Structure 1
Amino acid sequence: MDWGLAAAALAIGIVVGLTGMGGGALMTPALVLFFGVPPLAAVSSDLITSAVMKPVGSIVHIRRGTVAWRIVLWLVVGSVPAAFSGALIIGAIGPLTGVDAFVKTALGVVLLVAAAGLVLRAYLRMAEDQRVARSMAPPRADGGALAVRALPTVLVGAIGGLMVGLTSVGSGSLIIVALMVLYPALSANRLVGTDLVQAVPLVIAAAAGHLLYGEVDWALVWPLIAGSVPGAFIGAQLSSRVSGGIVRRALAVVLLVAGLKLLGVGNVATLVAALAAVVLGTVGWMYARTRHGLKPTHREELRARRSRAEDV
């Protein structure tokens, strides 16, 4: 067994457990950029690994009842055939133009979209939390009472499923952002539970397609599973002690860098883009917080809350 690969999978699994996202978005580019794995083999092997990992988190949410099943149903209607079709497209493109170059480019584009999606998800959640706090109304807890928008939900599933089938990225970083836009009243725990459960058939369909038309390397799969599964468990245990916001911000920068490198951007330009993202992102986030009535940083907000509590 490749213990270096297992260690990398362990670290990525911890991030997944901490944030609920980042599996394919980190694992596949790590395999391509750091371990020299061909892009198609990286995508195929990561999807098999995800098919093992995804059900673990979803079982917890099913037991807790934090799943909006009608939303899951319409997502699966679109995502399962689209995810399987992603492997068919790769199989058709391979003999024509070189599948690895196609997958590498597609992966780079999707990673950039995923980085933007992380930022958008954080902003939408902050805005929703502040709206609820100002109105003094609890967020809606029963996702089953929501009016399900069938056609848009199917389209989200289809687009997300196709991205997962082509690149292994999207089930935990893109679809969840779309769900936040479509269903802003969906509570945070139900949002995560719904996304995790819908990802199970999606990833299984994509993995099945890659078993038939992809390039699964079982020498990669076993160490990935050996590292990522316990890593996800450890991350879940740490999630109550470590700031998920800090991890997500770091993850967004990592996705930006990986996406640019996969698209062939030079080292200097990538470094400049990463530094600009850190500086402008920090300033922009502080401005966005003040626009919603919060202190510029989370630490200042905690101090202000403690001060108000002491005054009372």
Structure 2
Amino acid sequence: MEWVLLVIAGLCSGIIGALVGLGGGVILVPVIVYLGSVGLLDGITPQTVVGLSVIMMIFTGLSSTIAYMKKKTVDFKSGWIFFAGSAPGTILGAFVNRGLDLPSFQLYFGIMMVFLSLLLLIRKHLKPVHWFVKNGRKTTFEDGTGTYVYGYPIWFALLLTFGIGFSSGLFGIGGGSMLVPAMLLLFLFPPHVAVGTSMFMVFLSALVNSVTHISLGNVPWLYTIPVIPAAYIGAKIGAYLNHRLNSDSLVIVLQIVLLLLGVRSILDGIM
């Protein structure tokens, strides 16, 4: 029964993560924490749940990156720049994670979930900031809908992704949930390029993140057996749907789910 639940969790994480560029950890982490809290999974700690999540994100990131490469919507230069900032942040976050017990993890993770929910809620109502494009590295992208010019100062991108990487290493959430809104609002990325590039950065960061968590003994390898193939297949499905569906309705559902899970996690952490 527990493997069936893990397959479902991995599949949903892969689909949603690749569809909107989140990486999938925001779905997998609270689900695994809940399954552990009700006794359906053994040995779940803040360290093992993050270890499982970062291993999963290697495969969701790889699967979706390959799919987006075929659509030519991955900005590899930007992805490497974002990775250069996020990599040291993920290592630092992984080491800080060692000091968290389960109530503290649930409290801080819940606050992060509520923040991400509010960020998704307001991102459509925020006006793009053109300063970063005017004063940074510019790139032009063309597709069937028109020509886009986007960009960013490299120093700012490195600082931003360091903070995102720290959150990824600490909570196992992938970083795309914070990077995609920044790419859309601050750097004016075309939506499909933002998602594709985000998943490439998630893949690279997950490699570094996983090495750190493996060295710390945080990976429950038995649970990776059902999660990895399910997440890999889910990521392919999510990338396929990304080019065929308007993801606004899914984002609304995701906002509600993140908010509810975040509030529950905060209450569990306090109580």
The two structures share one fold, judged by TM-score above 0.5: yes
Higher mean C-alpha displacement, 215-224 vs 35-44: 35-44
Aligned to 1:141: 141
Question: Cα–Cα, structure 1 residues 245 and 26, in superposed 2: closer, same or farther, change >3 Å?
Answer: same
Deviation at 1:170, TM superposition (A): 4.7
Q: Is the 8 A contact 2:60 2:232 kept in 1?
A: yes
Out of 172, 176, 182, which is 2:180 matched to? 176
Aligned to 1:151: 155
Out of 67, 88, 94, which is 2:74 matched to? 67
Structure with the bigger percentage of strand? 2
Letter of the aligned partner of 2:110 in structure 1? G
Q: Is the 8 A contact 1:14 1:235 kept in 2?
A: yes
Deviation at 1:174, TM superposition (A): 0.6
Higher mean C-alpha displacement, 70-79 vs 167-176: 70-79
Question: Cα–Cα, structure 1 residues 152 and 107, in superposed 2: closer, same or farther, change >3 Å?
Answer: same
- Structure 2 runs not aligned, ≥5 long: 38-43, 129-138
Aligned to 1:164: 168
Q: Write the mapping of 1:206-225 to structure 2, written as runs, cut at 5 A.
A: 206-213=209-216, 215-225=218-228
For residues 119-159 of structure 1, the C-alpha deviation after alignment (integer angstroms, 9 at most, x for no partner) is 233445xx67xxxxxxxxxx952699655311110111100
Letter of the aligned partner of 2:213 in structure 1? H
Higher mean C-alpha displacement, 49-58 vs 223-232: 223-232
Aligned-pair identity (%): 23
Paired with 2:151 and 2:240, the residues of 1 have a C-alpha distance of 34
Aligned to 2:134: none
Deviation at 1:239, TM superposition (A): 4.3
Structure with the bigger percentage of helix? 1
Residue 176 of structure 2: SS of its match in structure 1?
coil
Residue 141 of structure 2: SS of its match in structure 1?
coil
Deviation at 1:240, TM superposition (A): 5.3
Paired with 1:116 and 1:65, the residues of 2 have a C-alpha distance of 31
Letter of the aligned partner of 1:38 in structure 2? T
Paired with 1:262 and 1:118, the residues of 2 have a C-alpha distance of 19
Aligned to 1:203: 206
Deviation at 1:31, TM superposition (A): 0.6
Paired with 1:231 and 1:21, the residues of 2 have a C-alpha distance of 13
- TM-score in terms of structure 1 length: 0.71
- TM-score in terms of structure 2 length: 0.81
Residue 67 of structure 1: SS of its match in structure 2?
coil
Deviation at 1:254, TM superposition (A): 0.6
Paired with 1:23 and 1:257, the residues of 2 have a C-alpha distance of 17
Q: Is the 8 A contact 1:70 1:144 kept in 2?
A: no
- Structure 1 runs not aligned, ≥5 long: 129-138, 267-312
Aligned to 2:258: 255
Paired with 1:66 and 1:112, the residues of 2 have a C-alpha distance of 30
Aligned to 1:4: 5
Which has the higher Rg, Structure 1 or Structure 2?
A: 1
Deviation at 1:176, TM superposition (A): 1.1
RMSD between aligned residues:
2.7
Aligned to 1:82: 89
Q: Is the 8 A contact 1:86 1:165 kept in 2?
A: yes
Letter of the aligned partner of 1:8 in structure 2? A
Q: Is the 8 A contact 1:24 1:46 kept in 2?
A: yes
Deviation at 1:163, TM superposition (A): 0.2
Which structure exhibits the higher relative contact order, with contacts defined as CA atoms closer than 8 Å and separated by 6 or more residues? 2
Question: Cα–Cα, structure 1 residues 121 and 214, in superposed 2: closer, same or farther, change >3 Å?
Answer: farther
Q: Is the 8 A contact 1:114 1:170 kept in 2?
A: no
Letter of the aligned partner of 2:118 in structure 1? A
Deviation at 1:68, TM superposition (A): 2.9
Deviation at 1:261, TM superposition (A): 1.2
Deviation at 1:55, TM superposition (A): 1.2
Residue 2 of structure 1: SS of its match in structure 2?
helix
The count of residues paired between Structure 1 and Structure 2 equals 248
Out of 98, 101, 120, which is 1:99 matched to? 101
Deviation at 1:214, TM superposition (A): 5.0
Residue 177 of structure 2: SS of its match in structure 1?
coil
Aligned to 1:18: 19
